[in-house]
Amino acid sequence: MEQRPLGQGGLTVSALGFGCMGLTSAYGDALPDAESIALIRAAYDLGVTHFDTAEAYGPFANEIVVGAALRPIRDKVTIATKFGFDIDLETGERRGGTNSRPERIRAVCDAALKRLGTDHIDLFYQHRVDPAVPIEDVAGAVQGLIAAGKVGHFGMSEAGVATIRRAHAVQPVAAVQSEYSLWTRELEADLLPALAELGIGFVPFSPLGAGFLTGKVDTSTTFAANDFRGMSPRFAPEARSANLALVDMIRGFAATLNATPAQVALAWLLAKAPWIVPIPGTKRLDRLTENLGAAQQALSAETVTALDKASAAIRIQGLRLPAPVLAMSGL
């Protein structure tokens, strides 16, 4: 698979990464460890070299399974994980809110290294901006971990442009992660231009709209009690019904391109800039294979423009995340 740069510090990864969160959290029951490990290794066999996890996914369970899966091929892949939520490092209890105090960042790093079974984290993101800690202190703490050889590169998630600039002035930011897809395009106005200016890579999460853009979700779809989509405003029945207009539009493009809707949605992101690396996730091998097929779908500039215009003409209904989660975003 094509390799793409994230930032200007020498970090290169596969054009499509693998978002591992859904293996253990957010989308219903966790996949059994053995099946998760097999799927992660299948992703590697299919060309993926970048795997995204976090202490919060579980908590802790995701890092453990990702570490187990990648240990035999550790020198051939890059691992991204995250700090920033206030989680008890012993029990995994979520205490609510954020915690990016420097001593906390160092403790989370050491704990993550143990769970992952590695001596370094390739990309260490601040999961959410902590309003109680100056971002310069956060960047300085990560800079210290980089100097110690425990971390390779610094990343930020759901951060605003002004905050990114302040952090970048202390420690170069390699990548920023936020939601971006054909149904979440607001950040095109300011975030993407700023990243292009600063030479920072971009890693879109939920590049398939939490599965909606695949065309496999309709008005009759039901979600498990532990699937966040059941609480997401954008998946509420009335909003979902209205938002299917976007899926129908993508399906039309897919038919002309001999592709699936998921492949069109991912190929659109890949065509946006050579420093964009989407991280679709799945629990199924067939969906994984389908998603990675997007890397072979080179969309023309005309097709990208047509998708831009067609998606912009459809008014998406509902907030992209449940309100309490969205409130923690720094965007």
Q: Is 57 a catalytic residue?
A: yes
Pull the structure tokens for residue 59: 């908590």
195 exposed, middle or buried (CB, 10 Å; 0-12, 13-18, 19+)?
A: buried
Whether cis (ω within 30° of 0) applies to the bond prior to 59 is yes
> H or E element: which one contains 125?
strand 121-126
* Cα 230–Cα 30–Cα 265 angle in degrees, nearest 5: 60
What is the rounded distance in angstroms from the CA atom of residue 203 to the CA atom of residue 205?
6
Pull the structure tokens for residue 185: 């395009």
Catalytic annotation, pick one of 44, 57, 125, 180:
57
What separation in angstroms does the CA of 273 have from each of 25, 38, 41, 269? 30, 31, 27, 8
Would you call 64 helix, strand, or coil by DSSP?
helix
Active site residues: 57
